[in-house]
Structure 1
Amino acid sequence: MKKLFYLLLLVTAFNTACKKSSTDAGAEVPVSNVADLPAGAKDGVAFINNGTSAIITLYAPGKKSVSLISDFNNWSATTSVMKNTPDGNTWWVQVDNLNPATEYAYQFYIDGTLKVADPYCEKVLDPDNDQYISSTVYPGLKAYPTGKTTGIVSIMQANQTVYTWKNSSFSRPEKNNLVIYELLIRDFTTEHTYASTLAKLDYLIGLGINAIELMPVNEFEGNSSWGYNPSFYFAPDKYYGTKTALQNFIDECHGRGIAVIMDMVLNHSFGQSPMVQLYFDGTKPTASSPWFNVDAKHPYNVGFDFNHESTATKKFSKDVMKFWMQQYRIDGFRFDLSKGFTQKVSTDDATMSAYDASRVAIWKDYNSYIKSIDPNFYVILEHFADASEEKVLAEDGMMLWNDMNYNMNESTMGWLDNSNFQWGFYANHGFTKSENLVGFGESHDQERLNFKNINYGNASGNYVIKGNLGTSLKREALIAAFLFAIPGPKMVWQFGELGYDINIDYNGRTGEKPVKWDYYSDPNRKALYDAYAKFIRLKKNNPIFKSSSSTYNLAGGIKYIKLVEGTNTVVVVGNFDVVSQQANIDFGTPGTWADAVGNGITMGSTFYTATLAPGEYHVFSKTALK
């Protein structure tokens, strides 16, 4: 997990969090200020009367007074005093005489001490960070109401630009055929925008991926971030562009056959969040918070820990999910730290990872809700819990991240003792379908494979991995042949297909990394890209790579995977040692075999016997692959 990142951000969270909320201070709400919620109201803003009026609502149990302060009342705390519902939970006010074409800035003024933005708003103004967002990234950004208020403010507008979707008949790739490209917009192009990322779509199509997983794009603290410090869950972060630019990005991806998956962070939030600020003692949430635990329940938590057994948290989370599914036509969520959705107290990973019936029930409930909206939606969990728990979640249709980084990197470096990556096969998890296991050798969280190849690779005689770019890249092609041969959905971390070799801790673990599009013009790196493209094409075009019939030996220097589907058999074999090794593998049938990466062979027996040079590999098939 992003632990160091989060610990550093906690300092910012505490500094910017909020003034202490006086939950128990003040008099009772006057009877004259109690009224039922009007018809048509919803959390946040509901426009009525053709946008000339709005009902604005805040869920804030236990507060004594709430006023709406805004552009339209000159930020007065006495003009728009909000009414409280009889149960004491919700505050609301209707404002009239609005211009539907105007953006209005507004906040809630709580108990005479605290100003917060609307948790449900779709856009915010940040007095500290917006000044660093250029007009080319976000044109026409409304000016902050300097001198009128302080802190982050919400924006509302009745007649927003409505995006016209062009691709309404997009058919998502089947789970088993997914090749996901995990992408951080900040570090993918120097312009760090949806538009500049879209301009690289031909590159991704050439690679053959059929899904893009965007690291978090909803509002997070600061501008330059991995995005795992969320604050506003309905607002796209302006550092990457406008709402319509994001919708257009998704639409264009759909038009090119690419699904878009959103990284969703609902384990925690940080001090900039109005939901944190509403019930906060200056250090941590108070016991009266409807959403957050006072103290984290597990050792991986950062920021402030959501309580997913709380009715209020469940409602909020479902509102967030539904919003992105419907307003942005997202195809799936990858849920960050899904193992953290627990109220079971733990101080170590083993205890936290043990089967947790409450956590299973929480995820089944969320999955059921998502599927009630869109039955074919991808639900991907970064879970890493006990296999017995992951098996239950998989049987409910969810997909689980499967990290093979360590063992695959040992293989690419030529260190064989811990190089067995058979955990990539779904049956070893107790799963009945390969489609529920998303395998990868790299993600944003792991060290880059090629960085370790170049810095720590093995050597023997003239065969040297360490410090040798050409050899280290060929080792990357070798592991890719095996990765894409394992049945089930796969994920690639951005620029892994070019052998990105910048240390993950360069400029700080979550700091900005060099954008290396110049890699593509390097013949050795382009050769790796071409190898990835070939293996991805083979996976997508040949049903045998979904086979439920597999045998393998992934220990030692000579590794192989054998797949059988109908009359065809595929055997991927490679030498991961740094010296030549003898292969002796039962292919099952003699005769002529095609090789997708070289010349075919003819065998007089069922056994393939050959001496493979270090790093040499083949993709043999009884019937030539497409």
Structure 2
Amino acid sequence: MPFGARWREGGGVDFSLWAPAAESVALMRQDGNGTALHPTPAHPAQGGWWHVHASDATPSTRYQWQINGDLKVPDPAARQAPDGPHGLCVVTDPGAYAWHKPGWRGRPWHELVFYELHVGTFTAEGTYAAAEAELPRLAALGFTAIELMPLATFAGDWGWGYDGVLPFAPHPAYGTPDELKHLVDAAHALGLCVFLDVVYNHFGPDGNYLHAYAPAFFSPVNESPWGAAINFDNDGSEMVRAFFVHNALYWIEEFHMDGLRLDAVHAIVDESQQHILKDLSTQVRALADATGRHVHLVLENEKNQPQWLTAPQGTPGSYDAQWNDDFHHALHVALTGESQTYYAK
């Protein structure tokens, strides 16, 4: 993955930031005492990239970036941000967790019975570890899959998760990345698949610093219902598309997720020759084929576009299922009388 901090097994860490609008970039690392931050100027490279190799950095090194000599920002591809998007990020070793079920291959689609859960409210503790303790109960009830609501780090401790700003960093209020991996591992030991709800249509407003140094992340012509739309088809979109495709692959490969539920894809505007949804599906299917796993892709799509769903299951570029929002909305209107936004005729 070209984004973020990559630890070398031979020693040191490669740090990379795509900041095409920055005039200068420095890597700020915390010293061994956990107090002062020390700057290392980043080297500019082609295409708006900035790089630093730190030979003495290790997994657990805390860092952030400094833009144009003053603004301190998190790494948008950080794998861990224990203090949220306004704090320091942490270098991780992606291979450090020892999986107990490394040979898990998932389950075919026709076997899946879903239980959707929000980690922060599913238990009184609101943690990955506490949710894991409840998995045997879900398995005993007959569920064969759990779908975790969005986990991308957002500002504050509690929220629905749909305003994430660090898509690669599991939300720290729920626990560490390894505790999330342990939850997935435990689910697989019980025969449960794990799906993750991902949001690729916008970034949340609090803790989103991308406008300051990578405005090409955002469409110059489109808006979403939640703010600036993501740029998938204008200048600079090649790197933006890669960012989100790598994010999808990251959750499946590093966290052994069995599938993704893509939030509100009707709010994704892409007039490219190949739509980002097709690009993402094609690369996820390639990963599934290469690893021999059942990996499933689900849409939320208010437009009910059949072209994403009509191909045989597992076809590159296609999706396996779609949320039945029509049923939900009709029932909601019947019960509440609400008729605004989603519920308008």
Is TM (by shorter chain) over 0.5? yes
SS in 2 for 1:371: helix
Distance 1:390 1:245, change over 3 A: same
What is the aligned counterpart of 2:302 among 366, 373, 384? Answer: 384
Shift of residue 305, structure 1, vs aligned partner: 1.7
Distance 1:314 1:48, change over 3 A: same
What is the aligned counterpart of 2:115 among 176, 181, 186? Answer: 181
What is the aligned counterpart of 2:223 among 254, 274, 297? Answer: 297
SS in 1 for 2:69: coil
The equivalent residue for 1:372 is 286
What is the alpha-carbon distance in structure 2 between the residues aligned to residue 273 and residue 237 of structure 1?
A: 15
- In structure 2, what residue type is equivalent to 1:306? I
What is the alpha-carbon distance in structure 2 between the residues aligned to residue 49 and residue 275 of structure 1?
A: 30
Shift of residue 124, structure 1, vs aligned partner: 1.5
What is the alpha-carbon distance in structure 2 between the residues aligned to residue 342 and residue 359 of structure 1?
A: 12
The equivalent residue for 1:55 is 14
Shift of residue 171, structure 1, vs aligned partner: 4.2
What is the aligned counterpart of 2:213 among 278, 294, 301? Answer: 278
What is the alpha-carbon distance in structure 2 between the residues aligned to residue 242 and residue 71 of structure 1?
A: 20
The equivalent residue for 1:329 is 256
What is the alpha-carbon distance in structure 2 between the residues aligned to residue 169 and residue 94 of structure 1?
A: 34
What is the alpha-carbon distance in structure 1 between the residues aligned to residue 43 and residue 105 of structure 2?
A: 46
The answer to whether the 8 Å contact 1:364/1:393 transfers is no
Which residues of 2 match residues 246-285 of structure 1 at below 5 A?
246-271=180-205, 272-279=207-214
The answer to whether the 8 Å contact 2:264/2:300 transfers is yes
Tell whether 2:29 aligns with 1:67. no
The answer to whether the 8 Å contact 1:297/1:342 transfers is no
Which residues of 2 match residues 100-499 of structure 1 at below 5 A?
100=58, 103-126=60-83, 151-157=86-92, 162-271=96-205, 272-279=207-214, 289-294=215-220, 296-298=222-224, 301-309=225-233, 310-343=237-270, 361-375=275-289, 376-386=294-304, 389-395=305-311, 396-403=318-325, 404-407=327-330, 409=331, 452=335
What is the alpha-carbon distance in structure 1 between the residues aligned to residue 281 and residue 91 of structure 2?
A: 31
- In structure 1, what residue type is equivalent to 2:37? W
| Runs (5+) with no aligned partner, structure 1 | 1-40, 131-150, 280-288, 344-356, 410-445, 457-626
What is the alpha-carbon distance in structure 2 between the residues aligned to residue 62 and residue 205 of structure 1?
A: 50
The answer to whether the 8 Å contact 1:62/1:88 transfers is no
The equivalent residue for 1:44 is 4
What is the alpha-carbon distance in structure 2 between the residues aligned to residue 118 and residue 81 of structure 1?
A: 15
The answer to whether the 8 Å contact 1:341/1:359 transfers is no
1:567-612 CA-partner distances (Å, limit 9, x unpaired): xxxxxxxxxxxxxxxxxxxxxxxxxxxxxxxxxxxxxxxxxxxxxx
Shift of residue 364, structure 1, vs aligned partner: 1.5
The answer to whether the 8 Å contact 1:121/1:234 transfers is yes
1:162-188 CA-partner distances (Å, limit 9, x unpaired): 221111333433223321111111221
Bigger relative CO (Cα 8 Å, ≥ 6 apart): 2
The answer to whether the 8 Å contact 2:115/2:143 transfers is yes
Distance 1:221 1:294, change over 3 A: farther
1:124-172 CA-partner distances (Å, limit 9, x unpaired): 143xx79xxxxxxxxxxxxxxxxxxxx42211256x8822111133343
What is the alpha-carbon distance in structure 2 between the residues aligned to residue 224 and residue 359 of structure 1?
A: 39
Shift of residue 268, structure 1, vs aligned partner: 0.4
Shift of residue 332, structure 1, vs aligned partner: 0.4
Shift of residue 227, structure 1, vs aligned partner: 0.2
The answer to whether the 8 Å contact 2:18/2:48 transfers is yes
Runs of 4+ in 1 over 3 A off after TM superposition: 294-298, 357-360, 391-394
The equivalent residue for 1:442 is none
Shift of residue 358, structure 1, vs aligned partner: 5.1
SS in 2 for 1:50: coil
1:441-476 CA-partner distances (Å, limit 9, x unpaired): xxxxx69x9xx5xx99xxxxxxxxxxxxxxxxxxxx
What is the alpha-carbon distance in structure 2 between the residues aligned to residue 68 and residue 115 of structure 1?
A: 9
Shift of residue 294, structure 1, vs aligned partner: 3.9
Distance 1:235 1:297, change over 3 A: same
What is the alpha-carbon distance in structure 1 between the residues aligned to residue 329 and residue 226 of structure 2?
A: 24
What is the alpha-carbon distance in structure 2 between the residues aligned to residue 161 and residue 171 of structure 1?
A: 19
* Structure (1 or 2) with the larger CA radius of gyration: 1
SS in 1 for 2:283: helix
SS in 1 for 2:216: coil
Identity over aligned pairs, percent: 27
What is the alpha-carbon distance in structure 2 between the residues aligned to residue 93 and residue 360 of structure 1?
A: 33
What is the alpha-carbon distance in structure 2 between the residues aligned to residue 397 and residue 84 of structure 1?
A: 39
1:261-298 CA-partner distances (Å, limit 9, x unpaired): 0000111002313434424xxxxxxxxx2211246435
| Runs (5+) with no aligned partner, structure 2 | 312-317, 338-345
Shift of residue 196, structure 1, vs aligned partner: 1.4
Distance 1:207 1:331, change over 3 A: same
SS in 1 for 2:37: coil
RMSD over equivalenced CA pairs, Å: 2.7
SS in 2 for 1:56: strand
The answer to whether the 8 Å contact 1:118/1:274 transfers is no
The equivalent residue for 2:53 is 94
SS in 2 for 1:290: helix
Corresponding pairs, count: 319
**TM-score, L = length of structure 2:** 0.83
- In structure 2, what residue type is equivalent to 1:193? T
The answer to whether the 8 Å contact 2:79/2:92 transfers is no
The answer to whether the 8 Å contact 1:318/1:366 transfers is yes
- In structure 2, what residue type is equivalent to 1:291? F
SS in 2 for 1:315: helix
1:413-446 CA-partner distances (Å, limit 9, x unpaired): xxxxxxxxxxxxxxxxxxxxxxxxxxxxxxxxx6
What is the alpha-carbon distance in structure 2 between the residues aligned to residue 228 and residue 269 of structure 1?
A: 8
What is the alpha-carbon distance in structure 2 between the residues aligned to residue 385 and residue 96 of structure 1?
A: 50
